[in-house]
Amino acid sequence: MKKILITRRLLKESEDKASKMFDAKFNGNDELYSQSKLIELSEGHDAILTSLTDKMDEETINKLPDSIKVISNFAVGFGNIDLEAAKKRGIAVTNTPEVLSDATAEIGILLILGACRRVPEGIQAAKESSWKWSADYLIGKQLTGTRLGILGMGRIGQKIAKIAKSLGMIIHYHNRSKLSDEKEQGAIYHDSIKSLFGVSDVLSICCPATKETENLINKETLEYFPTGAVITNVARGDIVEDEALIDALNRRKIYAAGLDVYKGEPNLNSGYLKIKSVFILPHLGSATKHTRIAMANLAIDNIDEFFKTGNCKNKVN
């Protein structure tokens, strides 16, 4: 029976599954392992089931024992893993796509609603019993007829588009390539971010974090947006240059922001906390019981598939 190291605590259903399929070492206290401890614990194991909180950089991967053949990431993203370093060591890296698309799209829509309808201010006023109804109290932006730009029209982007369209939003998108008519569902394609941003009353960031997309939202590109636009991010914090977005919010170039992800999680740039129009969540994209079980089970199945076949359909390197 193959031995696997699971770096973070999983829900009971998934840990039971892992126990039946492997000789699994669990993290009962859900401790955040240091890189040195993770390397130490991996001795004698065949695979590691990692989470986004595990920094698997080149140095860490190069110190893993030769017995490690698979790193199965408990996420659709894999920015925490140096894919090239793993490839050089002959270690397969897998992820968990598709199973979290619905849950993440729901949070994507929540961010849009929360930012457009001034939810942070409303919650604060309700808690303090400091509000008084009037015709112009906490006037926000209505979604009906609003142009939604989707940056990255993959599985999650398409699901957000479908829900947003039902709310009366007009869908625009930028992707590495134009989608088929069936997948577009009437959405309007833009071949550049400048073109997309220029028509985006609301932007939903759904693209993966890569070298090409790092700090894609920056001082220059923020000027492409219509004054009073709303920016939301359900993808990765690395895509947004925080200081530039904070400045644009303070200048009212950008009306509001909705963020489920940010650089240096869980440490948020304090500048956001001083702005009333920022709606912040603690990376809840996939946080439903159904989805977290499905993600963990897929991460476990990825390891099983690799050892049975020598490959895995969710291999990313």
Q: Are 279 and 272 in contact (CB under 8 A)?
A: no
Nearest to 100 by CA among 132, 75, 125: 75
Known active-site residue 283: yes
Nearest to 5 by CA among 33, 54, 46: 46
**198/126 same-domain check:** yes
Q: Angle CA(279)–CA(98)–CA(4) in degrees, nearest 5?
A: 100
Q: Is residue 317 part of a domain?
A: no
**166/123 same-domain check:** yes
Known active-site residue 251: no
**137/174 same-domain check:** yes
**157/273 same-domain check:** yes
Could you say which of 236, 241, 292, 305 is catalytic?
A: 236
3-state secondary structure of 227: coil
**87/188 same-domain check:** no
**130/260 same-domain check:** yes
**pTM score of the predicted model:** 0.93
d(CA 136, CA 216): 35
**260/206 same-domain check:** yes
**187/129 same-domain check:** yes
Domain with 163 in it: 101-280
The domain total for the chain is: 2
Q: Tell me, what CATH number does 296's domain have?
A: 3.40.50.720
Could you say which of 89, 121, 184, 283 is catalytic?
A: 283
Q: Is residue 81 part of a domain?
A: yes
**127/229 same-domain check:** yes
**299/255 same-domain check:** no
**251/143 same-domain check:** yes
d(CA 313, CA 198): 38
Going residue by residue through the chain, which has 317 residues, state the pLDDT in tens, using 9 for 90 and above: 999 999 999 999 999 999 999 999 999 999 999 999 999 999 999 999 999 999 999 999 999 999 999 999 999 989 899 999 999 999 999 999 999 999 999 999 999 999 999 999 999 999 999 999 999 999 999 999 999 999 999 999 999 999 999 999 999 999 999 999 999 999 999 999 999 999 999 999 999 988 899 999 999 999 999 999 999 999 999 999 999 999 999 999 999 999 999 999 999 999 999 999 999 999 999 999 999 999 999 999 999 999 999 999 999 99
**147/36 same-domain check:** no
DSSP structure string for 135-195 = TTTT-----TTPEEEEE--SHHHHHHHHHHHHTTPEEEEE-SSPPPHHHHTTPEEESSHHH
